[in-house]
Structure 1
């Protein structure tokens, strides 16, 4: 079973997180940040990953540490759950429409982390949530999951729709990339014979 659990404890956050890459999309999310909970819930649903997140952070300062640290923990959990990555599809890309917004996401489970994030928000906040934290989450997740990840919003106006298209796009691309390719079951999808650097 491709499962993992991560506990992260710092002076800024305490996080318990678990994933099941072969789940049904069930999310049990509690970070104290309402908009972020919504994004993680739809991420779990569209990735078909069972995700449990219990996070307590220094929200009296701002949401930054909580969002970033959940991204770190989620990335670590996904990488751990993938193990040797035998049989995975590895690559995936798609265009995700969300009303007036269209976002392109492409990823490679390469073990060589890199983020290209070309997304602009016309407003600094969605409710109380700082829009700049969307990039912080993607950066933390990509680095710790070992993904080469490209995210670009081609056009869009509504900040909520833009953020949601990014999270749903990541979910759908990850769902495809972690899927086991029946034609390559047991094989590591690399001419080097390993993934991870």
Structure 2
């Protein structure tokens, strides 16, 4: 069970997000707040799901900076303006999705953030806070990834579980695990989050 806190200024929106998140039975909403300043963040909260206001005040930005250092944060936004605000923050684990994202996409993003992955909606990538030029890896890969392994890595970066990757590619979960093992070995990664990070550094995952 993944513990989640919801931040949204509109009570009806908080209620709607709670219903969507808890529908699968794998996510439990532990705390709700109308602003980041009101969050208490009990230990069971692993991910914060927040509706980012278009014009967040400086105090709110500072609060998000503090919260982002403690918990993974999934920002739900309307348009590019709120996303641009994130460029001033240095958040280790975060996600950005449109406010109207499908329920399963929302839940998949929460799962991915809990695993330490960064989640970005394709339509918002152009204005994302990720640096456009990532540092090159110190050494070249001894063995390059195959086209299929790159496909798996890119789906991994979207926060998809093995079963979802298998369905997208029309292969078995066992084959997905085989590809992941090869990806970890070639990239020198110990887990999914590190594989995505190294993939970003090497330009294998488009921004």
TM over 0.5: no
Q: Which has the higher contact order (CA 8 A, sep 6+)?
A: 1
Larger radius of gyration: 2
TM-score by length of 2: 0.25
More helix, by proportion: 2
TM-score by length of 1: 0.26
